[in-house]
Structure 1
């Protein structure tokens, strides 16, 4: 009986029931929030199922200023059209920004086509690059770092054209590279958040025992960390890799109010 419940949880509940975690950064509260962003990570798209359609509906209902996609959206070249299908479920007017994960490289994804798909859905693909966006007289800079283990992560290149703004978020798929970001951030550049994914929260977390974490995780598993005074959030993501199950690591998206 118990084993059946555990199996049901691992194969179905934790994979397909996506939790929504909301955070207020600094002294921000519901009445003070100036910019709202949603992090979507590690989709590993194999189909557009009902939970993903509900997720898109939820995002459209929240109406955030930005959707930030922190890598591993797809892991097989034949599934690239699924990303197009999923993005079209989200309101085109919502600004989106994406970075690459290791699987976009390991899956031999056509990056030019990927970039075109993102562009078609009002999404900027950032590879070692920073762009600034404006919302209601407030500016937010988004730095997108290339993947640490599949690509060529270069934070110094990524911030070469950084412009001072009201807020600054760094997107960095493999959280281990956050250690390097912390060391290489100039004193005159403030980072409000570093958002990562990659780990799937361990994907299989047996009451604190995690049999496997992928290369590039470092000491990070899930949730909040602080390193060199930088606030780092590691998302458990949505999809799965290698094994089609989750346990103790329920799928999630995160909403951040700045």
Structure 2
């Protein structure tokens, strides 16, 4: 794992889309889903910030299954822009097939430019025969970092968030991050994995305690 810290420039400290198990710094959850002609948004607050902390707003985008770009995606982008997120997370299955690459790039181009951007791969990227290296190159053109069995530290106003992203359980192979991070003091640890069943493997994959796991795959199930 790289120990280089990415500094978040926005003023809020923590938020997320999905369930949780005890983030200490306080999370504002923003979950946006599309199914298949309906746009829905779920907002969750996770944890309680102390007097000297401010929440960080995270947006999770999962299972877009893009094969075209239309009115619904324009509406989704408007919702994302209005949320004023500090961190945007892609948790896999961004497209259905290789012809979805163009619509995906159009979608990514229109995301707000300010937030930090992280992603993990899903089973449909593998099914479309898009290799992780090619997916990383595509994402990097739009400011995303693909976490493939990798951890990264994010820092904002002296507060540290450890983020670990895993390869897909179905199409790939989740493994222990090559370089583990054992903080000297407790830090919040966010795990990204497309398939929720990856959570069952975490005790054998990680040494650090996990605060929150964000996944996709089940389309809200």
TM-score, normalized by length of structure 1?
A: 0.65
Instruction: Specify whether residues 34 and 84 from structure 1 end up closer, same or farther in structure 2 by C-alpha distance, changes over 3 A only.
Output: same
Q: How does 1:49-128 map to 2 (within 5 A)?
A: 49-128=70-149
Q: Is the 8 A contact 2:177 2:205 kept in 1?
A: no
Higher relative contact order (CA 8 A, sep 6+): 1
How much has 1:178 moved relative to structure 2? 0.8
Identify the residue that residue 146 of structure 1 maps to in structure 2: 167
- Count of residues in Structure 1 that have an aligned counterpart in Structure 2: 185
Aligned CA RMSD, in angstroms, stands at: 2.3
Distance of 1:32 and 1:133 partners within structure 2: 15
Unaligned runs of 5+ in 2: 1-33
Distance of 1:163 and 1:49 partners within structure 2: 45
More helix by share: 1
Distance of 1:33 and 1:55 partners within structure 2: 26
Unaligned runs of 5+ in 1: 1-12, 202-221, 223-258
How much has 1:139 moved relative to structure 2? 2.0
Cα deviation 1:168-213 (Å, max 9, x = unaligned): 2100111112111145443xx2221111111113xxxxxxxxxxxx
Q: Is the 8 A contact 1:142 1:170 kept in 2?
A: yes
Q: Is the 8 A contact 1:77 1:110 kept in 2?
A: no
SS in 2 for 1:84: helix
Instruction: Specify whether residues 76 and 14 from structure 1 end up closer, same or farther in structure 2 by C-alpha distance, changes over 3 A only.
Output: closer
Distance of 2:141 and 2:158 partners within structure 1: 26
- Which residue of 187, 195, 217 corresponds with 1:174? 195
Distance of 2:126 and 2:145 partners within structure 1: 18
Identify the residue that residue 227 of structure 1 maps to in structure 2: none
Identify the residue that residue 161 of structure 1 maps to in structure 2: 180
How much has 1:14 moved relative to structure 2? 4.7
Cα deviation 1:123-157 (Å, max 9, x = unaligned): 10111001112223322221110000110111x22
TM-score, normalized by length of structure 2?
A: 0.75
Q: How does 1:214-225 map to 2 (within 5 A)?
A: 222=221
- Computing the radius of gyration from Cα coordinates, the structure with the larger value is 1
Distance of 2:144 and 2:182 partners within structure 1: 20
Identify the residue that residue 8 of structure 1 maps to in structure 2: none
